[in-house]
Amino acid sequence: MKLLVNFSRGKGRKPIIAQAVRDTGVLITVERAVIDSSEGEALIDVPDDQCRLVRDKMTSLGADVRILEHGITFNESECVDCGACISICPRDVFSFDDEFRLRLAEERCILCGKCVDACPHDALTMPL
Amino acid sequence: MRKSIDQINERIRDGNARVVTAEEMPKIVAELGEDGALKEVDVVTTGTFGAMCSSGAFLNFGHAEPPIRMERIWLNDVEAYGGLAAVDAYIGATQQSETRGEEYGGAHVIEDLVAGKAVSLRAISKGTDCYPRRTITTELLLEHLNQAIMCNPRNAYQRYNAAVNTTDRTLHTYMGTLLPSSGNVTFSGAGLLNPISNDPKLRLIGSGVPIFLCGAPGMVVGEGTQHSSAGGFSTLMVTGDLKQMSQDFLRAATMTGYGVTLYVGLGVPLPVIDKEVVRATAVRDEDISVDLIDYGIPSRNRPALRKVTYAELRSGSINLNGEEIRTSSLSSFRRARQVAETLKDWIKAGKMELSLPTRSIDPKRVVRPMHETVKTPRVLDIMDRNIVSIGEEEEIRTAALKLLKGETNHLPVVNSEGRLVGIVTTFDISKAVANPGKANLVRDIMKKKVITTTPDESVDVAVRKLEQHNISALPVVDGNNHVVAILTAINLGKLFGRWLK
């Protein structure tokens, strides 16, 4: 399960992810992270049965944590099955089936948003 | 053996015609041989569905009361060409909205009309004795228009070169998003289903030939603009009734960072009149190759890195210099198939009969570049040849003195062979002075990644480099990476005096 973690460094720099790993013993995969001097956002992947444990730990350390139930939002009626998204995606979320119909492996999505710009037909959007 | 077009049409009328798609044809020819296939098959349907920027529609609105001679016309804030008498307009697919930019354009207006949505018309006029009205605003549906005739100057490209980007930044092109360092390849075209690839000598496709256009019966007008059959890049000008078209085969699109375009579904039915048609329609994806072009080069003459076939491109990845690179199609092969299948159903149901061209398209035409009479300014026209440079082993203090003496803000850094290895700016030196540390030599503080230009480069291209990298000077280098001049924002000022009169 994927968690979106937002943290502010206003109250001093805290090793939130490292501490959550140490305290919970859950191994966290950081899928992507954008961190600058004052704030940061990380998308992490944790085993489904431990995701609440990690969320609660990180929340207590001062982070905003949201469980992401879904990957990129796909509007099938706008899609024309061109495949512009396929080679753009860093996680191989998109592929064609035998009939050249676009298929999504949503569980692989790390919500990087690269496909949103690449889709000529506005069929892909970031979930709210 | 030969079959006449009349014989084929008679079989269509009788419901006995054997119609297959161009995708089925290679196998049929392999099984039955050319003679057998000629006897067996009457019509081969083709299809393509992809971005065709050179598209649009003529619209007639009828007269208002009091009447207006519309001079400038906007549909949903997208300007349509109004230099066509009083109440006609041509809405071009790539024209962008004046309020919404690249997210909405002429293609969207066309799709909205086809989808049955209301479109807002706004027009102005100077007013004449016969047309006194000066402004008009009204909401229109497609059904309110007298005529809505799609007329696309350049559609159905026979094939299209594939695109890659060898630079170190992402490019946004009409070939979609191109990742840096050859991170992906994009391509367009239906390959073995493409109409002209099944009739490369244009024996069957020409003026007056019936076609499938965006779900409606349409017609080939004739040779398309930029038509270049000698190089394998034939195009068609086509027309059809917008009122009969369907959103399934007509879609507006935006190539991010490039602009608006229209996805058009187009198919041509080919009568199988002789063995040459059989041979041509047996074409496979493996037989059709295009160049893989480096879009990182901002010139008309972009280098081709290799030849690739549609079979390779459609497989999902291609090999470039030993690396597998993923491919993305920009056109839809699934919809191209649907075009060919729908056309097949039409003909089997007797809804469309075929005809040979009333006027042929020149199969030897070659497209020429633009004839330019005014030279565009090049870097050598405005660059500053009085360059002050510095060696990488010099002290920072020497660099500071040189900058002061040369009254410049940029010092190209050269190695012992005189080749460019870096650049230092007054900013770099100020930083080194403000934070004294280990740095002592120019080498320690210079920026090693230098963005350069060449004397022959167009000033427009050099200016894009300055903007993209947010810098104010470019060393001008020759083929050996020797600095021959420098181009700064100050030099650009010369343009105003010399070129922009």
Q: Tell me which residues of chain B have a C-beta less than 8 Å from any C-beta of chain A.
A: 49-51, 172, 176-177, 179, 183-186, 251, 253-257, 261, 263, 316, 325-335, 337
Do A61 and A91 lie in a common domain? no
**pLDDT > 80? residue B24:** yes
Is residue A40 domain-shared with residue A83, that is, in the same domain?
no
| Percent residues over pLDDT 90 in chain B | 75
SS3 call for B266: strand
Decide if the complex's ipTM is over 0.85.
no
Is the domain of A109 the same as that of A127? yes
pLDDT per position as a tens digit, B322-334: 999 999 999 999 9
Give the CA distances from residue B304 to residues B164, B175, B314, B352, in Å, rounded to whole numbers and listed in that order: 10, 15, 19, 41
Determine the distance in angstroms separating the CA of B101 from the nearest CA of chain A, rounded to an integer. 15
Contacts of A83 in chain B (CB under 8 A): 328-330, 332
Catalytic residue numbers of B, as ranges: 130
Cβ within 8 Å, pair B263-A114: no
pLDDT in the model for residue B498: 56
Do both A103 and A55 map to the same domain? no
On whether the CB atoms of residues B446 and B413 are closer than 8 A, the answer is yes
The pLDDT value recorded for residue B294 is 95
**Same structural domain for residues A25 and A49?**
yes
Please state which of the ranges B110-124, B184-198, B294-308 shows the lowest mean pLDDT. Answer: B294-308
CB B479 within 8 A of CB B395: no
**How many Å is the Cα radius of gyration of chain B?**
29
Do residues A77 and A122 share a domain? yes
Q: Are strands B72-75 and B48-51 parallel, antiparallel or unpaired?
A: unpaired
Q: What is the pLDDT of residues B72-93, one digit of tens each?
A: 999 999 999 999 999 999 999 9
One domain, residues A49 and A61: yes
Rg (CA), chain A: 17
Assess whether A80 and A115 both reside in one domain. yes
Mean pLDDT of chain B: 93
Q: What percent of chain B has pLDDT over 70?
A: 99
pLDDT of residue A80: 97
Pairing mode, strands B304-309 and B289-294: antiparallel
Q: How far apart are CA A88 and CA A8, in angstroms?
A: 31
Please check whether residue B310 is in contact with residue B288, taking contact to mean a CB–CB distance below 8 angstroms.
yes
Mark whether A6 and A63 lie in a shared domain. Answer: yes
Question: Quick check: helix, strand or coil at residue B465?
Answer: helix
pLDDT for B288 equals 97
Query: Of residues B140 and B464, which shows the higher confidence score?
Result: B140
- Find the domain containing A42 and state its range: 2-68
| Domain edge (last residue) among A48, A68, A88 | A68
- Residue B303 confidence (pLDDT): 83
Q: Tell me the domain boundaries of chain B.
A: 5-52+151-348, 62-145, 379-498
* Residue predicted with more confidence, B407 or B48: B48
Q: How confident is the model at residue B3 (pLDDT cuts 50, 70, 90)?
A: very high
Spatial separation of the C-alpha atoms in residues B60 and B148, rounded to whole Å: 7
Supply the pLDDT for residue B93: 98
- For residue A12, the model assigns a pLDDT of 59
Give Cβ neighbours of residue B239 (< 8 Å, ≥ 6 apart). B149, B150, B151, B152, B213, B218, B219, B221
Token pair belonging to B342: 């729908």
- The SS3 assignment for B36 reads helix
Sheet holding B96-97, edge to edge: B101-105, B96-97, B78-80, B72-75, B119-124, B135-140
The answer, yes or no, to whether residue B234 has pLDDT greater than 90, is yes
Residue A112 sits at the chain B interface (C-beta within 8 Å)? no
User: Does residue A82 sit in the same domain as residue A60?
Assistant: no
Are A61 and A21 part of one and the same domain? yes
Lowest mean pLDDT among B181-195, B316-330, B398-412: B398-412
Asked whether residue B420 carries a pLDDT value surpassing 90, the answer given is yes
Q: Does the structure show a pLDDT above 50 at B501?
A: no
| A38: helix, strand or coil | coil
Instruction: Check residue B69 and give its pLDDT.
Output: 97
Residues of A in contact with B50 (CB under 8 A): 82
Q: Where among A19, A40, A68 does a domain terminate? A: A68
**pLDDT for residue A11:** 57
Q: Establish whether the linkage from the previous residue to B210 is cis, with ω within 30° of 0.
A: no
pLDDT exceeds 70 at position B51 = yes
By C-alpha distance, which of B263, B257, B392, B383 is closest to B329? B263
Across chain A, which has 128 residues, the per-10-residue mean pLDDT values are: 81 78 90 83 88 89 86 95 96 96 93 94 91
The CA distance from B388 to B325, in Å, is: 43
**B339 CB contacts (<8 Å, ≥6 apart)?**
B47, B48, B49, B193, B212, B249, B265, B266, B267
CATH assignment of B379-498, among 3.10.580.10, 3.30.420.10, 3.40.50.200, 3.40.50.2300: 3.10.580.10
CATH code at A7?
A: 3.30.70.260
Please indicate, yes or no, whether residues A81 and A36 belong to a single structural domain of this protein.
no
How many structural domains are present in chain A?
Answer: 2
